[in-house]
Structure 1
Amino acid sequence: MSSTPVYIICSPRPQVGKTLTARLLGEFLLLKNGDVACFDVNLKEPSLLDYLPRVTETADVIDTYGKMQLMDRVIINDGVAKVIDLGYHAFDEFFKMCHEIGLMKEALRRRVAPIMLFVADTDRASVRSFQTLYELISANALVVIDNEFVVRGELPPVMTRSRVLRLRALPVFLKTYIDRLSFSFTGYLRQEKDSSTELHQWIRRNYTMFRDLELSMVPQRS
């Protein structure tokens, strides 16, 4: 039995594809495992709760009570993978809390595997925030998401120090299609019989990418 993974999807910037990444990962884990627990720490709609209401609950890190409630739910080795869609407004406060409580050491003690998925951008705030995380978190627990719809070109050099996963850009009409609240990635795979379509291949590639990530980063119990 493997340790329980906790995926924390984060960025100090809005509109970089953070919730899209959380949706993809949440649906992949639900398809693979039959269950997933998602936590939506966002101010604006639409958010993860709107897309995956059956497996998502809201959370906040504004005060001590909210922080402890969230940590009590996610730092537990219960075999159910967790996904946290961390709003940009909560980025600094969340990682300040992680540093104060010694999140990585506590997670290790409880057989939980936190994985930070940092959704990249090329602005100064993103570079500075990534550098801070790189110094606080072990390199093997920090992954960069290169959303090609946002990052049009090379990543900032500092971000290439970590493992990089790339979300290929979709044409605008397909991007609009998947942004609908009623859209399901897994539902599309099941309903669309033509596996050669661009969207079908895009979803399958991303699911495979997350499968490989889990296999390589979640410690196995001996």
Structure 2
Amino acid sequence: MLATPVYIICSPCPQVGKTLIARLVSEFLLLKNGTAASFDVSLKEPSLLDYLPKITETADVIDTYGKMQLMDPLIFHDRVAKVIDLGFHAFDEFFKMCHEIGFMKETVRRYVAPIVLFVAGSDRISWRNYEMLRQQIPPGALVTVHNEFVLRGELPEAMLGEHVLRIPALPAFLRVYIDRLGFSFTGYLRDEKDWSTELHQWIRRNYTMIRDLELSVVTQQRYKPASPFGRARWHER
């Protein structure tokens, strides 16, 4: 049985292109599956909600109610892929919560495949938090995202894990173009008939990488039958 993928796009640092990655993943899932559910845990404007309002809802991890509202759909095996755009302000609290409730173990029982996309930065905060995730997330589920528009040159060796997703840098004028609120990656592929354009090739390459990543992560994970008491334990916390 194929698991329901849950993409967690995160970074402890601002301005690393996290929402751009969340948009790419969300639009790819919509194109591939016809449906997706995205959660915007961000204080920054514009955010994922502004780009994809039809499939995105806001969420927070400030209090117990907000955490429950976010986590409940993430451990539900409904075959609808989920995407979380996790704001840097919520990074510590989100993964602290995941550790406390045993989120990774719970997903194994519930046929859910978490895929943590850590968007790398160049400072010590990024390195330190990546190392923290390596201790908490299974190697096959932790993906380093190298956004070449933000992080020039090679990734630090310490961040070269089992999976690396490299997002090539676009020229500045194209970056401004895709940052417009009305822009759709899939819409561009459908409307632009010239497959040789740089943006067309860039979108297709990124979609292909996301597809291959999902196949690799979801098929390599092993699952156990869900406990009928798993959900109750979460609500009792």
Partner of 1:15: 15
Q: Distance in 1 between matches of 2:108 and 2:115?
A: 12
Letter in structure 1 aligned against 2:27 = E
1:136 aligns with 2:154: no
Task: Give aligned pairs, total.
Answer: 222
The Cα of 1:157 is off from its aligned counterpart by: 1.4
RMSD (CA atoms): 1.2
Decide whether the 8 Å contact of 1:41 with 1:85 is kept in 2. Answer: yes
Equivalent position of 2:149 in the other structure = 149
CA distance in 2, matches of 1:219, 1:82: 17
Q: CA deviation at 1:158?
A: 1.0
Runs of 5+ unmatched residues, structure 2: 224-237
CA–CA separation in structure 1 for the residues paired with 2:20 and 2:65: 28
Structure 1: how far apart are the matches of 2:131 and 2:203?
30
Counting only pairs closer than 5 Å after superposition, residues 11-160 of structure 1 correspond to structure 2 as: 11-160=11-160
Cα separation, 1, equivalents of 2:74 and 2:49? 17
8 Å Cα contact 2:145-2:164 kept in structure 1: yes
Partners of 2:118 and 2:144 within 8 A in 1 = yes
Deviations 1:148-189 (A, max 9, x none): 001101211110133111000000000000000000000000
- What residue ranges of structure 1 are gaps of 5+ in the alignment? none
Identity %: 73
SS of the equivalent of 2:219 reads: coil
Give, in whole Å, the separation in 2 of the partners of 1:204 and 1:177. Answer: 17
Question: What per-residue deviation string (whole Å, max 9, x for no partner) do you get for residues 28-63 of structure 1?
Answer: 000000000000000121000000000000000011
Letter in 2 for 1:219: T
TM-score, normalised to structure 1, is 0.98
Q: Whole-Å Cα distance in 1 between the matches of residues 211 and 137 of structure 2?
A: 22
Matched residue type, 1:202 = W
Q: Which residue of 2 aligns with 1:196?
A: 196
- What is the SS of the residue equivalent to 1:90? helix
Matched position secondary structure for 1:106 = helix
Conserved in 1, the CA contact under 8 Å of 2:6 and 2:112? Answer: yes
**Once superposed, which parts of structure 1, at least 4 consecutive aligned residues long, lie more than 4 Å away?**
none
